Amino acid sequence: MMEAVITFVENQPEYLLWAIGIIAMLESLAVVGIVVPGVGLLASLSILAANAGTNVYAMLSVAIIGAIVGDGLSFLFGRLFQDRLSQIWPFTRHPEWISTGHNFFERHGGKSIFIGRFIGPVRPFIPMVAGMLRMDGKHFLTLNVASAICWAPAYLLPGYLFGQYVSITELLSWKGLLALTMATMIAFVATWWWKR
């Protein structure tokens, strides 16, 4: 089954690149970014990209573009609705999403656009709050582009490099699944410890 997927991707690499770009965009969108398991999907797709011999620069480029577009749309959404955001679903049910993003933005100022890109729980809301607070568009765009350029390699290269040494079929064996489970548990504990 996986051999067929890899063969398909090798022959049609644009589909994989589109998927990476779209997921990078969705992960950066306000609200949607909480629902979409972007980190796991991007890691899996980057491993698949390496197995299929996809050009690493093309992969990083589409991820960067997707991330820039996602944050840009969130910024425009915040700019468009501003003070009315709290009256729009799902913010009527989860007002803490706005307040968390607002507090983070107040604490770090414009740097929050860059820093927030790497912090999962606030990532989708920082650009929206920046738009809501009428941050200068050029300043936002500069930080948006810079953070996306740093974010894409940090999130995709580990999976890509890993995929160059381990095939998907090996990963799906019981040893591979055990190794992935252990790595996931270590990452979960490390994240929990860091947040505490």
Q: pLDDT digits over 111-163, tens only? A: 888 888 887 777 778 888 888 888 898 999 999 999 999 999 998 998 898 88
pLDDT digit string, tens, across residues 73-119: 989 988 888 777 666 666 667 667 677 777 777 887 778 888 888 87
> Any idea which residue has 């890899």 for tokens?
6
CB 41 within 8 A of CB 30: no
Give the range among 34-43, 55-64, 129-138, 148-157 with minimum mean pLDDT. Answer: 34-43
What pLDDT, on the 0 to 100 scale, is given for residue 105? 77
CB 133 within 8 A of CB 61: no
Q: Which helix (H) or strand (E) holds 152?
A: helix 137-165
Q: Which amino acid is at 34?
A: I
CB 45 within 8 A of CB 19: yes
Which of 115 and 56 is assigned the larger pLDDT? 56
What pLDDT, on the 0 to 100 scale, is given for residue 142? 94
Q: How many residues can be counted in the chain?
A: 196
Mean pLDDT for the chain overall = 80
What pLDDT, on the 0 to 100 scale, is given for residue 55? 92
